């Protein structure tokens, strides 16, 4: 009977959400200098200069959406900004919030925000946010009801009476066109940051980082590798280096 119970009794919502102190630093990410600068202005400055910005009535971003091709360091960038700014970090992949148990997905979202408020200053990072915030017109029949409820709960938490003081929400997606428009309105994910495929300089720096602790043959020239990997993502370059 106990074994049977284990198949139907599940842990309380989001018990697996872990408050993380990432170890990724800017020096671990090649290039992307403009992106790093923009994120520092959006995340660090509002915390560092909070009183001055309040006095000037400057609207600071509540939600930042990073979008672009897959494998371009969006997750690493989010972790690095938390590390470099000494912020607590709570990360969740979109699909992890879905549950077959009625009401559990919404509870998971509420618990996520509750923990972030307690841990402030903190970043909530939604990876693959399109999985939970799919435009309601695009939702499949099997998940549309759950997805709608999750979006509604997310909107309540972002707009809610309980201020998100010291909490920044960062999300990543490869498909910004699939995100529900309600989430893109002012006061929500109203800062969009494009993360492109790495350019020549970025690829050069990625190779330098990858070979930092791995000696390479004297015949291998990083400049040549940069030429050969045009239009490669950072993840693809890393895979090449690991071969």
Which range among 27-31, 146-150, 232-236 shows the weakest confidence by mean pLDDT? Answer: 146-150
Say if pTM beats, i.e. exceeds, 0.95. no
Q: What is the pLDDT of residues 74-124, one digit of tens each?
A: 999 999 999 988 889 998 887 777 766 667 788 888 988 998 998 888 999
CATH class of 200-242: mainly alpha
CATH class of 12-194: alpha beta
Q: What residues does each domain of the chain span?
A: 12-194, 200-242
Pairing of the two strands 63-67 and 88-93: unpaired
Q: Which residues contact 14 (CB under 8 A, 6 or more apart)?
A: 107, 108, 111, 112, 115
Q: What is the pLDDT of residues 30-51, one digit of tens each?
A: 888 899 999 998 988 888 887 8
Pairing of the two strands 88-93 and 19-20: antiparallel
Q: Please work out, in degrees rounded to the nearest 5, the angle formed at the alpha carbon of residue 163 by the alpha carbons of 162 and 165.
A: 140
> Are the beta carbons of 138 and 131 closer than 8 angstroms?
no
What is the reported pLDDT for 13? Answer: 45
How far apart are the C-alpha atoms of 158 and 184, rounded to whole Å? Answer: 12
Q: What is the pLDDT of residues 135-166, one digit of tens each?
A: 655 555 555 677 788 888 999 998 875 677 88
How far apart are the C-alpha atoms of 106 and 205, rounded to whole Å? Answer: 42
Say whether pLDDT at 175 is over 60: yes
């Amino acid at each position: 009977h106990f074994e049977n119970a284990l198949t139907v009794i599940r842990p309380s919502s989001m018990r697996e959400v872990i408050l993380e102190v990432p170890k990724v630093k800017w020096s671990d990410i090649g290039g992307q200098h403009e992106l790093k600068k923009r994120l520092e202005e959006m995340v660090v400055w509002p915390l560092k200069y909070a009183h001055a910005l309040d006095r000037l009535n400057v609207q600071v971003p509540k939600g930042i959406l990073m979008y672009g091709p897959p494998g371009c360091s969006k997750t690493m960038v989010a972790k690095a900004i938390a590390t470099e700014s000494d912020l607590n970090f709570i990360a969740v992949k979109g699909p992890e919030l879905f549950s077959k148990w009625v009401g559990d997905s919404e509870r998971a979202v509420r618990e996520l925000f509750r923990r972030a408020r307690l841990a402030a200053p903190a970043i909530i990072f939604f990876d693959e946010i399109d999985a939970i915030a799919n435009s309601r017109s695009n939702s499949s029949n099997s998940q549309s009801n759950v997805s709608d409820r999750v979006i509604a709960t997310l909107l309540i938490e972002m707009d809610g009476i309980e201020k998100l003081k010291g909490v920044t929400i960062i999300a990543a997606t490869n498909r910004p066109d699939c995100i529900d428009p309600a989430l893109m309105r002012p006061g929500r994910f109203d800062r969009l940051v494009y993360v492109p495929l790495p350019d020549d300089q970025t690829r050069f720096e990625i190779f330098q980082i990858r070979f930092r602790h791995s000696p390479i043959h004297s015949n291998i020239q990083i400049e040549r590798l940069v030429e050969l990997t045009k239009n490669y993502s950072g993840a693809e370059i890393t895979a090449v280096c690991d071969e």
